[in-house]
Amino acid sequence: MTKYILKRFLGMIPTLLIITTVAFIIMRIAPGGPFDRERAIPPAVQANIEAKYHLDEPLIKQYFRYLGGIIRGDFGPSYKYKDQTVTDLISNSLPHSLLLGTLALMAATFFGVLAGIIAALNQNTWLDYTAMSIAVFGVSVPAFVIGPVLMLIFAMKLKILPTSGWITGPDGWKTVLMPLIALSMSYFASIARLSRSSVLEVIRSDYVRTAKAKGLSPTMIILKHVLKGAMLPVVSYLGIAYSGIITGSVVIEQIFRIPGLGRFFVQSSLNRDYTMIMGVIIVYSTVVILMNFLVDILYSFLDPRISYQ
């Protein structure tokens, strides 16, 4: 097991290297550069700037210079945000995104699984229909609609929550609520539907019939015999969900003005801010790969039939 974890962990390095390389190439193929302006700059100035950022060197040399930097933990200077390094920008904004994303995933999982179980155990009753209607709503209405609608209701009409801001002041937790709901809604919905069908499948299985025949109470059967098996599909979905939530928070961060990494995701691409684009891509990829790695490990703890060599 330890060997497998180590192997998987080391396996992340080539994956990241490939992502970095492909991103680097695509970025340079895309037309335009970080210092192109509508009004042409004098060629001498242009050359000076390019020399400062080593953009006049051959591409392959730039590539290895960049890789060397990453290994030392230096993502280079931002071309757009002068006097700030990409490392600083990311380390200031990433924690906010991770906090929001992780909270959203936890909320989506907890309430999704709960709703799924309730729906499955009360199949074809009003509880089931209610839970699944909410789920269908959550899947079909995008976050950028839910966000403003929440703002309209809770901030503008009821005036109980602030429209934007992020964890400052004594009522800081209040600023978290709306972005959290908007971001987790569609994942809550998917997890609820997934758990419902999964629980339904397990409660019809032979081993649950055995558990009943042994005289176990319904609560014991659910907690001990149903949940573990039923949660496997949910766990494997969590890896994908977390990637979606982290990258999906771009929109939510814009709407609620959260100082997260999301705003750089779009802005840096539009600005051709080469180092910033690369930094954001590498960070997002690492988060996604790490999450999938964690899911795999978790999976082997849940299902004893899976043994990693």
Partner 1 sequence: MENKTILEVKDLKTYFRTDAGIVKAVDGVSFRLDKGETLGLVGESGSGKSVTNMSIMKLIPMPPGKIVGGEVLLDGVDILKLNEKEMSRIRGNRISMIFQDPMTALNPYLRISTQLIETIRLHQGLDKAEARKKAIEMLKLVGIPAAERRIDAYPHQFSGGMRQRVMIAIALSCNPEILIADEPTTALDVTIQAQILDLIKDLSEKLETAVIMITHDLGVVAGMCDNVCVMYAGRIVERAPVDDLFESPKHPYTNGLIQSIPRLDEKGSGRLFSIDGQPPNVIDLPECCPFHPRCEKAMDVCTRKYPPVVSLEGKREVACWLYEENK
Interface residues with partner 1 (CB under 8 A)?
A: 205-207, 209-218, 220, 224-225, 228-229, 302-305
3-state secondary structure of 216: coil
CB of 122 to partner 1, least distance (A): 13
CB of 237 to partner 1, least distance (A): 18
Q: Determine the Cα–Cα distance for residues 146 and 152; give it in Å rounded to an integer.
A: 10
CB of 195 to partner 1, least distance (A): 16
| Tokens 């109470």 belong to residue | 217
CB of 16 to partner 1, least distance (A): 34
Q: Determine the Cα–Cα distance for residues 116 and 110; give it in Å rounded to an integer.
A: 10
Looking at the Cβ atoms of 38 and 206, the one nearer to partner 1 is 206
CB atoms closer than 10 angstroms to residue 179:
25
Distances (CA, A) of 88 to 11, 43, 95, 235, 247: 27, 31, 12, 33, 20
Looking at the Cβ atoms of 164 and 217, the one nearer to partner 1 is 217
For 40, which DSSP code? P
CB of 214 to partner 1, least distance (A): 4
CB of 247 to partner 1, least distance (A): 33
- Any residues with CB less than 8 A from the CB of 123 and at least 6 apart, and which? 200
Contact between residue 27 and residue 278 where contact means Cβ atoms under 8 Å apart: yes
Contact between residue 131 and residue 115 where contact means Cβ atoms under 8 Å apart: yes
Looking at the Cβ atoms of 5 and 216, the one nearer to partner 1 is 216
Looking at the Cβ atoms of 18 and 220, the one nearer to partner 1 is 220
Looking at the Cβ atoms of 10 and 213, the one nearer to partner 1 is 213
Looking at the Cβ atoms of 52 and 228, the one nearer to partner 1 is 228
